[in-house]
Structure 1
């Protein structure tokens, strides 16, 4: 389009990034790696942390001022940093900035980018407004809703991962929404990872049923319901084991409350893949996801899913084919669905498992990366055109280069 010479220069600003373990961190690393593979120059701006990630990644990481997040010592919160960003971007101007956080660092970035006339886009990665009731501060939800809408509508486009999420945001007054879906690593998350040795460690036989769930162990993930349903199925003989994978501030409490379940804590990628594939049903009761990477990872592992009908499940799960869906917060239906899928045996269960794997056939990160870069270039072209149109021909003033 005549805008970029020598490759797209992208600046990605986030508050979480590998080696931190969560869905947003994983997704942003995939996007950075994908854009780099397409020839883009990627700089990642993130809160300064005490430990370093891998040194062989194709992007440059730049530290920003930060402070620890309560209950999450491994995570840090970005602080206001307008002067730091202004210096960085005046010395080396990016073509476009992707804002993955709406916090103080994101606000600083939005303000300075507008001052320097650098195009910005944003990603809607976290339903912070839905988290509030889980931390007993739901009274401020209208203010948070208004701020998030204002923030994202100040950028040239907001990327969301599903049609469901885009419709939700449109209904809340968000503009200029674009799709940025999520892929899944089908080589890693595969039925080949199923481990009879692991199942033996769980104390189950080949034909026994194991419920698996993977999540950050936090209040907003609705894990009391997940654990309660899993224990009910064990107590009634519908399942023989329940395994909860993940770490977080609620882990100690849940371990003490649900003594029939196994809690693994944080796992390596390889061990995580083995846990997905070695389960027979994946149960996920969270209602605060923007996507839900764990759902597609379970499906790719050939593990049918029982969850709520929104976000990724609404696009990847076909009722009664590769899993079961309940309306959001319909706990009774979720229980019925879990009992139903645990009753499947033989050929019927095998077909569910095959359908689960097939449902992720098109979750291809390479295609997602190509479309993302194409969208960024299109947005840059639109910004350039708008800048030209905004300048009066008679004034002789030239627009700031995009």
Structure 2
């Protein structure tokens, strides 16, 4: 397999785990002499997503998508998201008898239910039909694999994540204002309702709470929590230095499938405090690199005692090179899966 076309509704200028994972995977694959092409919203006119205008929905037609897939002339088709582009690409692939894989990045049903009165069973039923229609669905963790299997998802494949240990590392000093009292408890990520950030902001903690990131809830939370330091979105070394300026990384999400930010914080030598749910259970588990507790305040306070070098060590086992190899192996295995289906 020498070329892969990735269809994704999530793309720059969005800053999130999906975009970062796809970009880094593509970089590693190209180093393995695999050509990677992307079909993204940048090729189309877009409209803002209701309730989340930072996400743009592409105005595309099936005929144009089919032409773009054909013009890419790639050996394999991977559909990363369940948005307008992903849905049309999957429909075209099924009609044309083309092998394709998908990936499950976001607990979309939980995100929808946080905004609209839609039963989880409806959303999961729709997602199950979408992902089961391909020759493999890539998932980041065992917890997610077990959850989706119980909901009737099939052909699940493991695709973990990585972290750049050269960028995300301990740094000397702090980039935060000297006036902020310590210890520093930090959240990094989208500032949106599904991230459960208010569970963090409501904690009674010593020192200062810091929120790094942008999103639809940012301005409201700024008004309601004047004691919290909001930095806005950060990228690259500036982001890494913000992580390294924290004493504890607090991850309040109950709906993430993995949480790339967990690895980034750990790689910077910052212990994690989180709920014992999917994502933290898989990354932190019994490594001792953080504290998981149903009482997030207890977890945050206890994480202050975790050695920073222990946190860093826990992240070193995750690399983007290994992540890309898993991705490529899954693309190849998709052809075996189709042959097995035909034989059955």
Q: Shorter-chain TM-score: what band?
A: over 0.9
Does residue 211 of the first structure (1) align with residue 191 of the second (2)?
Answer: no
Aligned residue in 2 for 1:275: 242
Deviation, structure 1 residue 162: 0.5
CA distance in 2, matches of 1:70, 1:15: 15
Aligned residue in 1 for 2:173: 195
* Structure 2 residue runs without a partner (length 5+): none
Tell me, yes or no, if the aligned pair for 1:95 and 1:118 is still in contact at 8 Å: no
Aligned residue in 2 for 1:364: 319
* Structure 1 residue runs without a partner (length 5+): 49-62, 234-238, 391-402
CA distance in 2, matches of 1:167, 1:79: 35
Q: 1:223 aligns with which of 186, 193, 197?
A: 197
Aligned residue in 2 for 1:138: 117
Tell me, yes or no, if the aligned pair for 1:244 and 1:261 is still in contact at 8 Å: yes
Cα deviation, 1:272-308, whole Å, max 9, x if unaligned, reads 1111111101111111101101111111111111001
Give matches, 1:74-113, under 5 Å.
74-113=54-93
Does residue 377 of the first structure (1) align with residue 332 of the second (2)?
Answer: yes
Question: Residue 43 of structure 1: SS of its match in structure 2?
Answer: strand
CA distance in 1, matches of 2:299, 2:333: 44
Pair member with larger Rg: 1
Give matches, 1:288-299, under 5 Å.
288-299=255-266
Tell me, yes or no, if the aligned pair for 1:202 and 1:241 is still in contact at 8 Å: no
Deviation, structure 1 residue 241: 1.5
Q: 1:124 aligns with which of 96, 104, 129?
A: 104
Larger relative contact order, structure 1 or 2 (CA cutoff 8 Å, min sep 6): 2
Tell me, yes or no, if the aligned pair for 2:135 and 2:155 is still in contact at 8 Å: yes
Deviation, structure 1 residue 210: 0.9
Aligned residue in 2 for 1:154: 133
Question: Residue 138 of structure 1: SS of its match in structure 2?
Answer: coil
CA distance in 2, matches of 1:374, 1:129: 28
Tell me, yes or no, if the aligned pair for 1:64 and 1:81 is still in contact at 8 Å: no
Question: Residue 139 of structure 1: SS of its match in structure 2?
Answer: coil
Cα deviation, 1:315-353, whole Å, max 9, x if unaligned, reads 232458221112xxx3xx2222223334x3xxxx5xx21
Q: 1:24 aligns with which of 13, 18, 33?
A: 18
Q: Measured at CA, do residues 194 and 314 of structure 1 come closer, stay the same or move farther in structure 2, by a change above 3 Å?
A: farther
Question: Residue 174 of structure 1: SS of its match in structure 2?
Answer: coil
Tell me, yes or no, if the aligned pair for 2:258 and 2:278 is still in contact at 8 Å: yes
Deviation, structure 1 residue 385: 6.8
> Number of residue pairs matched?
344
CA distance in 1, matches of 2:54, 2:302: 39
Deviation, structure 1 residue 312: 3.0
Cα deviation, 1:65-115, whole Å, max 9, x if unaligned, reads 532224544431134531112223344543221111112322211111112
Question: Residue 311 of structure 2: SS of its match in structure 1?
Answer: helix
CA distance in 1, matches of 2:10, 2:126: 20
Task: Give the alignment's TM-score, normalised by structure 2.
Answer: 0.93
Cα deviation, 1:10-46, whole Å, max 9, x if unaligned, reads 1111111234211111111112222222112221111
Aligned residue in 2 for 1:286: 253
Aligned residue in 2 for 1:34: 28
Tell me, yes or no, if the aligned pair for 1:124 and 1:158 is still in contact at 8 Å: yes
RMSD: 2.1
CA distance in 2, matches of 1:110, 1:23: 22
Q: 2:220 aligns with which of 253, 257, 263?
A: 253
